[in-house]
Chain A
Amino acid sequence: MKGKKKKTRIFILLFFALFLPLKAYIGPGAGFAFLSSFLVLFLTFFLAVFSFLSWPFRFLLRIIKGQKAYKKSLINKLVIVGLDGMEPTLVEKFMAEGKLPNFSRLKKEGTYTRLETTIPAISPVAWSSFMTGCNPCKHNIFDFLSRDPKNYLPDLSSARIGNPKRFLPLGKYNIPLSKPVIKGMRKSIPFWKILGDEGIFSTILRIPITFPPEKFRGHLLSGMCAPDLKGSQGTFFFYTSDKEKIKKREGGINIPVTINENKIETYISGPENTLLKTKEELRLPLTIILDKEKEEVLIEVSGQKINLKKQTFSAWTKLTFRPGLGMKIRAICRFYISQMHPNFEMYLTPLNIDPEKPALPISYPFIYSVYLAKLLGSFITLGEANDTWALNEGALSEKAFLELSYSNHKEWEDMLFNAMSKTKKGVVTSWFETTDSIQHMFFRYLDKNHPALKNEQARMSSDVIKDLYIKMDELVGRVMEKLDKRNFLIVMSDHGFKLFSRGFNLNSWLYLNGYLNLKDGKEESDEWFKDVDWERTKAFGLGLGGIYINQKGREAKGTVNPGEKTKSLKNELINKLNGIKDDKSGKTAINKIFNRDELPHGPYKENCPDLVVGYNEGYRVSWDSVIGKVNSVVFEDNTKAWSGDHCIDPRIVPGILLCNHKISTENPAIIDIAPTALELFGLKVPSHMDGRSLIDERTFSLNQKGKKK
């Protein structure tokens, strides 16, 4: 009590000291608080006044521009939950078993059906069709990879990131005078841009092929194909003191470490320093102090100290790379110590662009990612977020992979619910990669005879897939709780999933059948067609399902004349590959070869592979063939954890469509979603769109009125 009284007295004394005839100024401390608070109040006041005063003008401007937002809308809000790769047969099975009550409710009260995918059935292709309502030949995305006909090397199909064009040389530096060139390769117009032009607001979260973000009326966070800080699609790091584990890991970098008296001095490999005339990798010193008794480590990096228990993920850690001249490049990452004894092993996530201080634009408007990061905390910004490569290459255990994937998923859920709460009228679309990546990595548990399970003991079971579907059902349930009758909900997947047990090396087949030739004396070719003799090659396979004819005048060393020669070669290949059997099992490995001449037309048809391979269930292009390796093995077992896939005959991997309303079409396709979104907001479907609306405007509005009553 006495102490309290004393404190009160001191406080009163100090308080009155403020009124002493001192021309009282209570110092910079008060100044800081006063100035900051005043600045905030002033800004708030200014923004509020500006917002109120400008509102009528903005409203008028929209009328002048002819935007009559929501006037003809059949609904208030459209929510699209994209669950990448949800497989209809599994959805139907789990619904029948009563494991997906929310899906079943949607089916009962609205719609459940299979959703036709694109040719090929690959996420970047399908989601591009989803947003544009067009077939691939109109949006120019045919695979993750496209080929450069000048050098036969792969390029990322969705975007090009180039260095700035103008520089100012200054000593050892090349100071950029312009921004880096970032060009999106997806063509056509997403439906949210058309809606936005009419004043309808959209929030688009992580939909694939939205990097670089485009301007429109709404908010967008880029998804699949947004790069990491190294410019790759996700490069993880694996630190180990085990010399036997130092090997090449696809999609990652091995960093060998040495333990000296329980201390490891190593580094984080950052992006290339483009400020320097002689380019070199930026590195950050990283110190790890081991406490083997407590089974934890102390990580010292970028001025931070992080205590981390074994087999626990750190929170997002901010890193700052300094290329020079006072510039800073920010990244975020997470650490995971998988083992401390007898060898040290640590996984480090790819260096994600820091959403709070992005080195590249990852959202529209630019401040949207900053806002999300400040509101919800740091989040993964890499397009292909879940690190399937790390699991595939043994840098991450299955348990850790699942933990990391669901942690990412939680971040996306938070974003979705924030967007939903802030959108009274308009569109909210969110894409969840979780379903795709977990199925890729755990599908083998659905087949006890899968080759990947023969060589190793099964650590998990098919429950992983079942749990995944249940979790997605719960998510949909929570979304449904937030919606009313004037809201339209679409839950969809872009394609389904099938087992990937056997790989087909397309390039080896082409080699063994004389369509692809190797340099003299070579019997195999290393990655990216290193030993291919292009002058004696007629066709080659690239990406996840494409066959390209080595055509004269198109490819740098083309051998096949365009026109009839190309046509007859394609027919020859179609005839030989269609229905090809697996020597070992006798099963059909390829159902159908799709000829691009028979695909729907579009201005970018020239960029489409000449042939698209439609593999049968259980098959896919082999790992070696994807990266341009050639040898004499055509069929091989897939022994990797990546055991489920969809890059096969699109007819056997349709997606799913669930709605909280009835639809009027029997065989909906993914290209129908964009026209449906437009029609729901009372807009005419543009003639360039190939899809058609899933609702009948007249019937739908009558239904709505009935429901209102």
Chain B
Amino acid sequence: MMWVFNSIFGKIFDIIFLPFRSMSPWVALIIVSFMTGLLMLFIFRFTSNQKEIKKVKNKIKTYLLELRLYKDSLSISLKAQWNILRCNLKYISYSAKPMLVMIIPIILILIQLNFWFGYESLAPGQKAIFKVKLKDNYNPLEIDLNVESSSGLTIETLPLRMEEENEINWRISAKEKGIHNINVILKGERVTKTVAVAQKPLSKISPIKIRRNFIDELLYPVEAPIKSDMPIKSLEITYPTRSMNLFGWHIHWLIVYFALSIIFGFGFKGILKIEV
């Protein structure tokens, strides 16, 4: 069920980002921030008490003006400051309801965005670690497990079995452009993990494939989950993380998204006559 939802939701983002895949990730991030800003404005508009928010904001402004006008009167200034704090708390309480309503769509959106903006695909010749994490009751030193890769990848090392982490690692090397597979074979059953090599500037990269579990599936929705009866907890590729380059300044995509969506939100609240 969750996988079906993830597939549909993921497809929506695939369609949204389709025209921008060959462009700089900035374009797509600006577009998606703009859309989110507007969406959140509308959610805010319909889930908040606009009249009361306007009223309380007006009160805050009044007391700020009072502070300025009666700056020589200590008693009036103190009273104004107290009133500002009181109104501010009230304002935050009015924002709580829309905030709670927004959490659900925002979490889903952020999860999707993280796969588009959080990682870079491997370049040909680039090395990465392939990790197989086992369930707690399985010992990596004893388990009989094989891996094989498609032709675009090379598995460079023998398995490194780490008891403390309960995982087995391999170093892999990307050979050629494309979406390649690594198959993990365990008791005759195969589990496949995709590996992206030399993809377009904006690509959906899945670093982890996880076992079937509500929370895990919610957080890592790109690839179909591993069957829950298998001893494997997750399969992971250590892709390089991506940062947004702003005139040589490397910023996490989330900060850019946060700033842009707020800027768009504030920019359009007046036009759409929404009190925030």
Quote the shortest CB–CB distance from B73 to chain A (angstroms): 7
Provide the bound-state CA to CA distance between A55 and B78, in Å.
Answer: 14
Would B67 and A51 count as touching, CB distance under 8 A? yes
Would B106 and A31 count as touching, CB distance under 8 A? no
Which of A27, A58, A367 is B68 in contact with, Cβ under 8 Å?
A: A367
* B105 contacts across to A, CB distance below 8 A: 27
Would A371 and B36 count as touching, CB distance under 8 A? no
Would A58 and B107 count as touching, CB distance under 8 A? no
* B68 contacts across to A, CB distance below 8 A: 47, 367
* A11 contacts across to B, CB distance below 8 A: 100
Would A32 and B77 count as touching, CB distance under 8 A? no
B7 is an interface residue with CB less than 8 A from chain A: no
Quote the shortest CB–CB distance from B54 to chain A (angstroms): 11
B76 is an interface residue with CB less than 8 A from chain A: yes
Quote the shortest CB–CB distance from A229 to chain B (angstroms): 23
In residues 39-77 of chain B, which contact A (Cβ within 8 Å)? 40-41, 43-44, 57-62, 64-77
In residues 373-412 of chain A, which contact B (Cβ within 8 Å)? 374-375
Quote the shortest CB–CB distance from A239 to chain B (angstroms): 28
Interface residues as binary, A1-27 with B (CB distance below 8 Å gives 1, 0 otherwise): 000000000010010011011110111
* A424 contacts across to B, CB distance below 8 A: 73, 75
Q: Which of B9-17, B81-89, B191-199 contacts A (4 or more CB under 8 A)?
A: B81-89
Q: Which of B59, B101, B102 has the most CB of A within 10 A?
A: B102
Interface residues as binary, B240-266 with A (CB distance below 8 Å gives 1, 0 otherwise): 000000000000001001100110111
Q: Is the interface of A mostly helix, strand, loop or mixed?
A: helix
A422 is an interface residue with CB less than 8 A from chain B: yes
Given contacts A32-B95, A365-B69, A371-B65, contact A22 B88 (CB under 8 A): no
B104 is an interface residue with CB less than 8 A from chain A: yes
A-B pair number, CB within 8 angstroms: 135
B91 is an interface residue with CB less than 8 A from chain A: yes
Quote the shortest CB–CB distance from B43 to chain A (angstroms): 7
B103 is an interface residue with CB less than 8 A from chain A: yes
The size class of the interface chain A forms with chain B is 35 or more
Would A36 and B110 count as touching, CB distance under 8 A? no
A41 is an interface residue with CB less than 8 A from chain B: yes
Would A30 and B99 count as touching, CB distance under 8 A? yes
B276 is an interface residue with CB less than 8 A from chain A: yes
* B36 contacts across to A, CB distance below 8 A: 27-28
Would B98 and A371 count as touching, CB distance under 8 A? no
* A315 contacts across to B, CB distance below 8 A: none
B25 is an interface residue with CB less than 8 A from chain A: no
B111 is an interface residue with CB less than 8 A from chain A: yes
Q: For residue A44, which residue of chain B has the nearest CB?
A: B84
Given contacts A17-B107, A27-B40, A31-B261, contact A44 B67 (CB under 8 A): yes
B185 is an interface residue with CB less than 8 A from chain A: no
Quote the shortest CB–CB distance from B57 to chain A (angstroms): 8
A327 is an interface residue with CB less than 8 A from chain B: no
* B110 contacts across to A, CB distance below 8 A: 22, 25
Provide the bound-state CA to CA distance between A585 and B81, in Å.
Answer: 68
B92 is an interface residue with CB less than 8 A from chain A: yes
Provide the bound-state CA to CA distance between A48 and B69, in Å.
Answer: 13
Would A32 and B107 count as touching, CB distance under 8 A? no
A325 is an interface residue with CB less than 8 A from chain B: no
Would A33 and B43 count as touching, CB distance under 8 A? no
A563 is an interface residue with CB less than 8 A from chain B: no
B140 is an interface residue with CB less than 8 A from chain A: no
Quote the shortest CB–CB distance from A704 to chain B (angstroms): 24
* A368 contacts across to B, CB distance below 8 A: 69
Quote the shortest CB–CB distance from A579 to chain B (angstroms): 55
Would B262 and A32 count as touching, CB distance under 8 A? yes
Provide the bound-state CA to CA distance between A47 and B80, in Å.
Answer: 11
Provide the bound-state CA to CA distance between A47 and B58, in Å.
Answer: 18
* Cβ contacts A to B, 12 pairs, < 8 Å: A26-B102, A28-B264, A29-B43, A29-B98, A29-B99, A30-B95, A37-B92, A47-B71, A54-B71, A371-B66, A422-B76, A424-B73
Other A-B contacts than A20-B107, A28-B262, 15 sampled, CB-CB below 8 A, are A14-B100, A17-B104, A25-B257, A25-B258, A26-B99, A26-B106, A27-B40, A28-B36, A28-B102, A31-B262, A32-B276, A37-B91, A47-B71, A374-B62, A424-B73
